[in-house]
Amino acid sequence: MFLVTINNQTAVREIMMKMRWIIGVMACAAAFGAQAQYKYIGPDGKVVYSDQPPPPNAKVLEKKGPGSGSSSGGGELPFALQKAVKSAPVTLYTAGNCGAACTEARSYLNKRGVPFAEKTVNTADDAVKFKKDLATDQLPVMTVGSTKQVQWQQDAWATALTAAGYPADNQLPQGYKNPGPVAMAPAAPAAPPANQTASNQPPVAPASPPADAPAAPAGDKPAWFKGF
């Protein structure tokens, strides 16, 4: 009877030790899952889970917010670009007849791998909104967050982008494309004339320009344009 009691106590101790080990392993796994906020591909090509931000040139597979299991989205961009785009988005303002300056500015942003939106200033309405929002009539203009670069100067633009955290070399994923340009002041869709149907009413002729409208410029630039 005594030997049976001893053996039973030994078995209980072994079971308790195994349970403590299993509980410890589960606790470590839970703690790691809570801390590992970043999932990215390391320099050796292996997937890395870490609570520290990945290197600037690493391909981020997933980024979780503190205490949250949901992905932040935008995993197709490297972490450095995700951070820069979120804190200081870039917008380029151009015009169809801005010339080489606008072309070179756009090419520079594409070559450096900067995600950006482009707004065009091609009509009088565009010009009014542009001058109101940007307080200038010079083109091109680049905004980086709350900062503004007026007219194309590569050194100044490069400095502004670097200060905002944009990498100096192109890190965009292969095949990435920036959205197409949009008008500064998009035209509202025209409403159909009242009491008119296509079957029994002739089309309405466009309104004549007001008498005090500015004359068209002699060159190919609009009257409001004072840039190049």
The answer to whether residue 98 is domain-embedded is yes
Choose from 47-51, 59-63, 148-152, 170-174 the range with maximum mean pLDDT.
148-152
The answer to whether residue 13 is domain-embedded is yes
127 and 105 in one domain? yes
166 and 95 in one domain? yes
Q: Between 183 and 21, whose confidence is greater?
A: 183
Rounded to the nearest integer, the mean pLDDT of the chain is: 76
Can you give the pTM of this predicted structure?
0.55
CA pair distance 76, 64, nearest whole angstrom: 14
The answer to whether residue 106 is domain-embedded is yes
Over the stretch 179-196, which tens digit does the pLDDT of each residue have? Answer: 999 999 988 776 666 665
Which is it for strands 116-120 and 90-94: parallel, antiparallel or unpaired? parallel
The answer to whether residue 58 is domain-embedded is yes
- Structure tokens of 156? 């100044």
- Cβ 94 vs Cβ 120: under 8 Å: yes
Residue 75: per-residue pLDDT: 43
Position 225: which residue type?
F
What is the domain extent for residue 28? 1-35
99 and 112 in one domain? yes
The answer to whether residue 222 is domain-embedded is no
117 and 102 in one domain? yes
Q: How many folded domains does the chain comprise?
A: 3
Helices (H), 88-211: 100-112, 124-134, 154-163
Predicted confidence (pLDDT) at residue 24 exceeds the cutoff of 90 = no
The answer to whether residue 99 is domain-embedded is yes
148 and 125 in one domain? yes
42 and 24 in one domain? no
**Of the residues 75, 104, 125, the one at which a domain ends:** 75
Positive or negative torsion for Cα 166, 170, 172, 177: positive
Choose from 9-13, 28-32, 160-164, 209-213 the range with maximum mean pLDDT.
160-164
107 and 40 in one domain? no
Residue 33: per-residue pLDDT: 46
158 and 101 in one domain? yes
CA pair distance 148, 160, nearest whole angstrom: 9
CATH number at residue 108: 3.40.30.10
Over the stretch 29-52, which tens digit does the pLDDT of each residue have? Answer: 444 444 455 676 777 777 777 766
41 and 28 in one domain? no
The count of residues in the chain is 228
133 and 88 in one domain? yes
Burial of 224 (0-12, 13-18, 19+ CB in 10 A): middle
Beta-carbon contacts of 102 under 8 Å, excluding residues fewer than 6 positions away, are 94, 95, 139, 140, 152
157 and 68 in one domain? no
CA pair distance 136, 29, nearest whole angstrom: 57
CA of 44: how far to CAs of 61, 81, 173, 186, 209, in Å?
A: 15, 21, 19, 48, 66
